[in-house]
Amino acid sequence: MGKTIMGCAAVSLDGFIADDHDAIGPLFDAYGNGDVTWSFPGTDDEFQTTQATADFLRAHYRDVACVVMGRRLFDLTNGWNGKPAAGEHVFVVTHEPPKNWEHADTAPFTFVDGVEAAISAALDYAGDRIVDVAAGQIGGQALRLGLIDQIVVNVVPVVLGSGRPFFATGSITDPITLDNPSQVIRGDRVTHLVYDVAKS
């Protein structure tokens, strides 16, 4: 069975993945401030980071088979124009699939009604590889349901004050215990932390 990882590219010190207007501001500075140029397999996007950040991200995400995301992120990115940002397939949690999406006939996207059903389908697809679950409402719900194995937090030393929280408001109703971080990697303007979810 594969593993489910909840995370996002960057989170502010006070726990936000974007500001109130969905802008990332300085959160992605660490992806363009280094001397190592690289990209994830199968993607065209290039990053310039420190060696430490490049090594961490490539190692941690090289076995991602698919992504689970919510309808909000899908709409904000137009489904990454039909090309997964990681892995080979995307499962979108939505009660109403988009109509007339220009990439509907060619994009490897599946629209699923419900978090549990989406993650189940993603795990079936992934086999023994990784399912990457987007932070925010979908990731928070999956964590609450006990469907997340590991949380990856790329912390940027910026305080936004308000915005879109890593753990969406109301998605966590009771405390959830994590193990001590299994990895702590220091980049430039970012610290990478990996937490395993404690299993009872």
The confidence score (pLDDT) of residue 2 equals 87
Q: What is the pLDDT of residue 26?
A: 94
119-122: Cβ within 8 A, 24+ apart: 119/4, 119/68, 119/91, 119/147, 121/91, 122/4, 122/65, 122/66, 122/67, 122/68, 122/89, 122/91
CA 123/CA 198 separation, integer angstroms: 20
pLDDT score for 163? 95
0.85 exceeded by pTM: yes
Q: Alpha carbon of 68 to those of 10, 13, 49, 74, 135: distances in Å? A: 17, 24, 26, 10, 10
Tens-binned pLDDT, residue by residue, of the chain (200 aa): 789 999 999 999 999 999 999 999 999 999 999 999 988 776 777 899 999 999 999 898 889 999 999 999 999 999 999 999 889 999 999 999 999 999 999 999 999 999 999 999 999 999 999 999 999 999 999 999 999 999 999 999 999 999 999 998 778 888 899 999 999 999 999 999 999 998 76
pLDDT of residue 168: 86
Provide the pLDDT for residue 18.
94
- Upper half-sphere CA count for residue 188 (Cβ side, 13 Å): 13
Match 């995370």 to its residue by tokens: 7
CATH numbers and ranges of domains, the chain:
3-196 (3.40.430.10)
Structure tokens at 32: 């363009």
d(C-alpha 141, C-alpha 162), whole Å: 21
